[in-house]
A and B are shown apart, each in its own frame.
Chain A
Amino acid sequence: MIAQQVAFWIIAVAMALAAIGVVRSQNVVHAALYLVVVLAGAAAQFILVASEFVAWVQVLIYIGAIVILFLFGIMLTRAPMRSEGSLDNSQRWAAAVVSLFLFGVLAALLINAYGSKEITLDNKLVVVGNTDTVGTAMFHDYLVPFEVVSLLLLAALIGAVVIARRD
């Protein structure tokens, strides 16, 4: 129990710092690498609550595919590696005020609503998160949404090819 708390806090602090790095870094490639830290940290948090399947999907899809896509995007748009100008626009301070205000509201609301409710870590939780249960739920209870999502992916694939095609 204590070990899990310690692991949670170490990973959470790393994720928070890396998230600030994503939005503050003046180098686009560094921002993408900070994003990898955030996504890997999220996968580790999923492992901590025994959601092993989602954790590995997170590693495969997010870190393996999406970040690589981002790096291709950075390469193809020749985003400035060395900052010639700032990567931030002039409404930086207003944006900081908005996000801090929203964080304050959300944190107060969540602490007020959920107090010190605990996630009980037991054998039942391990069964809920494993590949067997998730796969059965996905292909049994959520079969129609699954098929709709696969159609959406196909549409996105064709759309991306059509949009980015040189003609």
Chain B
Amino acid sequence: MTLNYYLVLSAFLFCTGIYGVLARKNAVLVLMSIELMLNAVNINLIAFSAFNHSVSGAVFALFVITIAAAEVGIGLAIVLLIYRNEHTADLDEVDELKG
């Protein structure tokens, strides 16, 4: 297997995630795009782990998965709180801090 296949696939997923974060309006969809980006990082870590025959990449991929879970939990709690106070999950309408 060529290492570059994995790296370019991962770069593609990462850039798709960036597009989603920038272009989506709904907060839950932005969180999903962040998951795409974290998953791209995991693919990179596993590819290099296999390339170097080192277990460190796999362990760090597990850490990334754990932190992704924590991030989604907190993120969705914040989105729920915003929805409860503003009655919308639309990020363009949450602009209280705008002067």
Contact = CB atoms under 8 A, between A and B. Distances in A.
Main secondary structure of the interface of A (DSSP, over half): helix
Contacts, number: 252
Contact of B6 (A45, A106, A134): A45
Contacts of A10: none
B54 to A, nearest CB: 7
A87 B79 CA distance: 16
B72 A117 contact: no
Interface residues of A, number: 89
B43 A118 contact: no
Contact of A119 (B2, B18, B23, B31): B2
Interface in A34-71: 35, 38-39, 42, 45-46, 48-51, 53-54, 57-58, 61-62, 65-66, 69-70
B77 A70 contact: no
A30 to B, nearest CB: 11
Contacts of A107: 8, 11-12
Contact of A125 (B2, B12, B35, B53): B53
Nearest to B51: A119
